[in-house]
Amino acid sequence: MGELTLKSNFKNNAVIPVKHTCDGDNVNPLIEMLNVPAEAKSLVFIIDDPDATGGVIWDHWVLFNIDPKTHYIPEDSLPSGAVKGKNSFGKLNYGGPCPLRGNAAHHYRFKLYVLDSLLKLEEGATKADVEREMGNHILSQTMLTGLYERKPEDV
């Protein structure tokens, strides 16, 4: 089996299409997960922004207990059976990139973790809760980085 891989409709370190941001339809992009190890019991998928204002990482999407047989997260949807965590917007759904206008491009980390167990957490758990529960259960992980910069508004 090949290396665990995460793909989307943008290349690694390339610009995320506007459709998937607060300036567009604010819907998640298609996510493809390849070469998940056979011994996987669950997947965790997190999108965060380490360039957020104030040096605090901003969480855009937190999903856990995803069936390891899942190969795709279709655009504007959730994988069947996934448990939704709370993002930094205080919501349970996807919140697209939305850096302050005039900021340099932010880096959005799309992170996939393969676990050897299910997480004993309820819907609404935070990324910190998920990361703490993952602990020593990570079998494999990979990351895809997308960039987004909002243009200054015309004056």
Domain boundaries, the chain: 5-148
The pLDDT of residue 147 is 98
Other beta carbons less than 10 A from residue 78's beta carbon: 17
The pLDDT of residue 153 is 72
Query: Over 90: is that where the pLDDT of 102 sits?
Result: no
Return the beta strands (E) in the chain as ranges: 5-7, 14-15, 31-34, 42-49, 58-66, 72-73, 83-84, 106-115, 138-148
CA terminus-to-terminus distance, the chain: 54
The pLDDT of residue 1 is 61
The pLDDT of residue 124 is 98
The pLDDT of residue 143 is 98
Whether 107 contacts 16, CB under 8 Å:
no
Q: Which position has the token pair 């290349």?
A: 11
Query: Over 50: is that where the pLDDT of 113 sits?
Result: yes
- Mean pLDDT, the chain, rounded, equals 95
Percentage with pLDDT > 70 across the chain? 98
Assign 103 a pLDDT band (cuts: 50, 70, 90): confident
Percentage with pLDDT > 90 across the chain? 89
Query: Over 70: is that where the pLDDT of 155 sits?
Result: no
The span from the CA of 116 to the CA of 44, in Å, is 11
User: Using one digit for the tens of pLDDT, what is the confidence trace for 40-70?
Assistant: 999 999 999 999 977 899 999 999 999 999 9
* Amino acid (1-letter code) at residue 59: D
Long-range contacts of 103-106 (CB under 8 A, 24+ apart): 103/51, 103/53, 103/149, 103/150, 104/51, 104/149, 105/15, 105/147, 105/148, 105/149, 106/49, 106/51, 106/52, 106/147, 106/148, 106/149
Question: Which of the two residues, 2 and 130, has the higher pLDDT score?
Answer: 130
**CATH superfamily membership of 5-148:** PEBP-like (3.90.280.10)
